[in-house]
Chains A and B, each alone.
Chain A
Amino acid sequence: MAAVLPLAAGAADTEAVVVPEQDDAVASAVMPEDDAAEQSDDVDVYGIIFGHIGDSYEWHITDIGGRKISIPLPVIVRSSTGWHCFLSSRLEDGTGYEGLHISSSDRFDGKIVELDADGNEIRPFDISITRNVLALMISSILLVALILSCSRWYRRHDALSEAPRGVAALLEPVIAMINDDVIKDTIGPGYARFAPYLLTVFFFILINNLMGIVPFFPGGANVTGNITVTFVLAFITFMIVNLTTNRHYWKDIFWPDVPLWLKPIMIVLEIFGVFTKPFSLMIRLFANIMAGHCLILCVVSIIFIAAKIGIAIGTSMTIISVVFGIFMDCLELLVAFIQAYVFTMLSAVFIGLSRERPETGKS
């Protein structure tokens, strides 16, 4: 009984129950790593992972000799005293500037806040160029440059008489695969109206996923692993599905063709289904990419944690961690492509479902 109690207490938070003295040895024997880590300056794994997944007002590149090297990004804020526009380097280390400071409270951790008359923190209207915004801009510029240089080849050459070269040769099989296998087959006639959106969404998600895996600037920002970005993509799909549909879609939802005693259940289910399908699109992409980034960061953090423990375990864990990290990165490449493909395919399927005609052939 005495051996069980320290385990339960040791697993609890530090403000919890007092552990009896003779069981301290048991507790510290069971979890030596935690004690050692807490005493030295431990590797802040939580900070590393959530610093990468979250957003910030500067782009942190690296630490050289204890000094932080980062790119300060513009802060554009409309607080109670009007518009403010300055570089985020003025807000370093919690200092305030023009009444604004970066909060470290639980509710607004990491966000710019101002203090109102009662001393409470409130968030002003914030349209700063944060790291995610800058990464979105960079990947959008990259995407536009790729696609425009691809289309430039087609404008200058006759596609039927010669094979494409350069970027067009890279992108043509991918675009053809998405267009023919995914879009044309699932939507059927009239697919050309939706093909621009679906192809854009595929390449947008693919390029943002790939840029997230690149560890150095300008990659390395977690764009598609941010639920607001995936929410917008799923919302656009939701809008397109529900605004370009025909009457039969709504009839199938509100008065489905089932026996009368099933109709109440089916109507509720169908209305739920209208919202859960884009919701699952959003969560699937967000969770896959965020989980992949978390895993890779954990694997790399193991190197630093093990190095603090000792040299023998540090070396062996480094080798294992590097090998495992390479494997995880290759898996992330696959996941990047698969998630873009699945998002596009499911959006095409939903659009196709909303354009179905009944078997009688009326439109």
Chain B
Amino acid sequence: MRKTFNLEDLDCANCAAKMEDAIKKIDGVKFASVSFMTQKLVIEIDDNEFDSVMKKVVKSAKKFKSDCTILL
């Protein structure tokens, strides 16, 4: 399932790129794109493991920009 999330306070383009890289490397993430311009995360994860993988995504995003929140 492909879902879009809003990102709050994503204020640095370089961090957005780094964040995207890290999210892409998470097991179970099929596609991920962090758009700095639209402040959105587009992510594709299999339906049956969506929630568990998404938790990892949120955690990893926090690591890069703890002041940027994924609005679920």
Asked if A and B are interacting partners, one says no
